[in-house]
Amino acid sequence: MAPSESETMPGREPGPTSGAPVAVVTGASAGVGRATAIAFARRGYRVALLARGREGLDGAHHDVEAAGSEGLTIEVDTANAERVFAAADQVVARWGRIDVWVNNAMSTVVGPVDATLPSEFRRVTEVTYLGAIHGTLAALRHMRGRNRGTIVQIGSALAYRSIPLQSAYCGAKSAIRGFTDSLRTELLHDRSGVRLTMVQLPGVNTPQFDWSHMHEPFHHRPVGGCWEPDVIAKGIVRAAEKAPRELWIGSSTIQSILGNFVAPGLLDRYLARKAYDQQLSSRPVLPGDPDILYRPAHEDHGARGRFDSTAKHQTFDVDPAYLRGGLAVSLLAALAAVFLWRRQ
């Protein structure tokens, strides 16, 4: 007998049967999306892989099947809302449900604000921010009826602490955070069973550092530490299964966000002095280098980038709710101590 829906909730480890949970990952052909798709497959999910590049999608499909699960590849640009909606319909027609939807697709432009063209700002916004909205709407269309499911927004420490040379990307990630907070209140108002979580990431060793649209003479590189994508993917799967309000992954993410709360002006001045050189590698930008701002990659780049020698293989994540709770307890303890001191 096929297992019931309650026996195949995310978090369990069923095999690739007709009752296994279904995860949809955008930007699944490479980088964090590719690693996340594999991580879901290893947890027993059937995985729908959404991206633009056919070669990368084929490679990701092979990886999902090698992990012992079933994959479905769909060529789609997340900037196109109707294509994203159609992709969601295709997943449900194939497997009957969507349990988890991960909005991971992104693009970026590296260069000063006044060197970045309006069309480039528009493209980064359409893929990174509007792509997350399109994915969320597509997921809600199918999750609302079942009154269950989890939407995962892939964010960044840069959603809280912007840096120079990446204004388009920082703006898009910040916008996703604002949109997500608004939607969360609506789901709470409706007493919806659909869950919403946002995962803030550190620098990750992915191919994006070789194919970003550059206005600088050298390719960019991760700032503030770098982690392997499979490590990050495990945190994303944990967020999908537990659905905290937010999950901060990596020490640099936690330091950046908390530092911005405490001393934003100091960080402004520090980044103005240091962040230009820290972001640029010694690898020059050459004619013919990959650039996927407007076109998909025409080869399979896999999940990892070229920073294996410095990328970290272990990390930890923090639910900021626990940080806020600890801060509240500390504040109450301090107030109580002051009160007792004054009475004495």
Full DSSP string of 225-280: --B-HHHHHHHHHHHHHH--SEEEESHHHHHHHHHHHH-HHHHHHHHHHHHHHHHE
Cα dihedral: 27, 229, 288, 114 (round 10): 80
Reply yes or no on whether 129 is catalytic: no
Q: What CA–CA distance (Å, rounded) separates 150 from 101?
A: 6
Q: Summarize pLDDT for 18-62 with one digit per residue, the tens.
A: 689 999 999 999 999 999 999 999 999 999 999 999 999 999 999
220: β partners: 280
What would the two tokens of residue 123 be?
């493209």
Give the model's pLDDT for residue 13: 43
Q: Summarize pLDDT for 63-104 with one digit per residue, the tens.
A: 999 999 999 999 999 999 999 999 999 999 999 999 999 999
Question: pLDDT-derived band of residue 110, with 50, 70 and 90 as boundaries?
Answer: very high
Give the model's pLDDT for residue 316: 79
Of 45, 129, 160, 169, which is the active-site residue?
A: 169
Alpha-carbon distances, residue 310 vs 8, 144, 176, 178, 306 (angstroms): 38, 43, 29, 33, 9
Q: Summarize pLDDT for 250-285 with one digit per residue, the tens.
A: 999 999 999 999 999 999 999 999 999 999 999 999
Question: pLDDT-derived band of residue 320, with 50, 70 and 90 as boundaries?
Answer: confident
Q: Summarize pLDDT for 291-311 with one digit per residue, the tens.
A: 999 999 889 999 999 999 899
Give the model's pLDDT for residue 332: 52
Q: pLDDT at residue 3 above 80? A: no
pLDDT above 90 covers a percentage of the chain that reads 82
Give the model's pLDDT for residue 12: 43
Give the model's pLDDT for residue 298: 86
Q: Mean pLDDT score of the chain, rounded to an integer?
A: 90
pLDDT above 70 covers a percentage of the chain that reads 88
Q: What CA–CA distance (Å, rounded) separates 338 from 332?
A: 10
Q: pLDDT at residue 228 above 90? A: yes
Q: Summarize pLDDT for 148-158 with one digit per residue, the tens.
A: 999 999 999 99
Q: Which domains does the chain have, with CATH numbers?
A: 5-343 (3.40.50.720)
CB contact burial 111-146 (16+ within 10 A = b; e otherwise): beeeebeeebbebbbbbbbbbbbbbbebbbebbeee
Q: What CA–CA distance (Å, rounded) separates 206 from 274?
A: 23
Q: Is 48 helix (H, G, I), strand (E, B) or coil?
A: strand
Give the model's pLDDT for residue 323: 63
Give the model's pLDDT for residue 6: 36
Q: pLDDT at residue 321 above 80? A: no
Whether 120 contacts 167, CB under 8 Å:
no
Give the model's pLDDT for residue 32: 98
